Amino acid sequence: MEVGEEMIRQHADDRRTRRKGRQMLPEVVSAYICARCGRDYHSREKLPNHCTRCTRNQ
């Protein structure tokens, strides 16, 4: 390959690597986890209902 083609390919690889790195999102830690069984709820609405019926580790 010519030097110019190699530089273009390297530049494209660098851009692709940066783009792929941005796509990986950090793992979100939920604040709504059942204290008895450890089940994760992503919203507040379902957790109280679950906790009243959860029978693990009572």
Q: What is the pLDDT of residues 11-50, one digit of tens each?
A: 999 999 888 877 776 677 788 889 888 888 888 888 888 8
Q: Answer for the pair 51, 35: CB distance below 8 angstroms, yes or no.
A: yes
**Domain residue ranges in the chain:** 3-53
Phi, psi of 30 (to 5 degrees): -85, 145
pLDDT at 12: 95
Phi, psi of 14 (to 5 degrees): -65, -45
Write down the pTM of the prediction.
Answer: 0.45
